[in-house]
Amino acid sequence: MRMILTGTGTSHGVPAIGCMCRVCRSRSTKDKRFRCSAYVVHREKNGKITRIVIDVGPEFRMQALTYGIDSLDAVLLTHSHADHLNGLDDLRIFSHTESDETTRGCPKGSAASPGDGLPVYADESTLTDVCTRFDYIFKTTQIGGGKPKLNLKRCEHFSGAQPLYIGSIRIIPIPMMHGTVKTTGWLLSVQKRGAVHSIAYLTDCNAIPHKSIDILLAHCGVLDHAVIDGLREKAHATHFSYIQAMEIAARIKPRHTWLTHMSHDKSHNEIERYCKAHVQDFSNLAEIVKAGGSVLPAYDGLVLRT
């Protein structure tokens, strides 16, 4: 299983509009951050490739073009804030299964298709917001213009005891808090040489309840990677700071920890130096790094492998 981090920036993105700070003016590609999203790819034993996207923010079209996303089996949403949802309409190219004469030559054109549509998994409040803010998707309207065909599914129905499977990828929702807003982290796992190997995607949160940590630890097997919200050095009301993200990493002990949802307060290189300087504050993280692991800022295009 591979997870490509197609966006690692905060809600403004980096560079931010109108900002002339040194990070926004940086020429380093690692300081160019789309809004947060991830693309998961797994080759099944039968040769079929399972493809999943986590979040569809305003730059989803550009992320899909940049990272070659040309087919999807499902979408996982963390929550309904604009920077994670407002590219939803661009799912229409993935959500139809046949073309008519007017769309011939276009992949999965805009003609009406059989079936229930592209599965979209999220908690109840997020799905309610989808139906409110994208109400036209779910109304009977005139032919033309095109719109996604989506099959909304509540993720609360799934748990460690009853996980979601998309292909052979086992998926468990991890409830989190983003200020007063409930968000969903995702634990994605596959079998590899007789063992469970996992990636935890935990963005947009400033608290992960003990029960959620217990769920993650009980089912992660070998936790190869954890992608954790780490907005900035200074504390924030709805996001983990760098050090708070490292505190979570010290509890769940992934082999590799990656900070995401980063602001333009610091450059990639500065965040990297911060992480390396503070690893020694956590004995188990220091041991993981000594054994070949890492605690580092993520960047757009980073590929994580189980």
| Interval 56-107: pLDDT, tens | 999 999 999 999 999 999 999 999 999 999 999 999 999 875 543 333 333 4
**207 burial level (CB within 10 Å; 0-12, 13-18, 19+):** middle
What pTM did the predictor assign?
Answer: 0.94
Q: Summarize pLDDT for 292-305 with one digit per residue, the tens.
A: 999 999 999 999 99
What does the pLDDT read at residue 104?
Answer: 34
Is residue 91 within 8 A of residue 56, CB to CB? The reply is: yes
Residues 12-42: pLDDT tens digits?
999 999 999 999 999 999 999 999 999 999 9
Q: Are 9 and 262 in contact (CB under 8 A)?
A: yes
Phi, psi angle pair for 211, to nearest 5°: -60, -40
Q: Do residues 111 and 100 lie in contact, with contact meaning Cβ atoms separated by under 8 Å? A: yes
Please name the helix (run of DSSP H) or strand (run of DSSP E) that holds residue 173, with its range, or none.
strand 169-178
Cβ-based neighbours of 147, under 8 Å, separated by 6 or more? 89, 92, 136, 137, 141
The predicted structure's pLDDT at residue 95:
83
**pLDDT at position 115:** 77
At residue 214, the 3 state secondary structure works out as: helix
DSSP count for the chain of H helices, then E strands: 7, 14
Closest CA to 264 of 18, 2, 85: 18
| H helices present in the chain, as ranges | 60-66, 82-85, 124-133, 210-219, 242-252, 268-278, 283-290
Model pLDDT for residues 230-276, shown as the tens digit of each residue: 999 999 999 999 999 999 999 999 999 999 999 999 999 999 999 99
69 touches 56 (CB < 8 A): no
Distance CA 176, CA 182 (A): 6
Q: Which helix (H) or strand (E) holds 295?
A: strand 294-297
In tens, the pLDDT along 165-206 reads 999 999 999 999 999 999 999 999 999 999 999 999 999 999
Dig out the tokens for 189 from the structure: 């796992």
pLDDT at 96: 73
According to the model, what pLDDT value does residue 112 have? Answer: 45
Cα separation, 2 vs 159, whole angstroms:
22
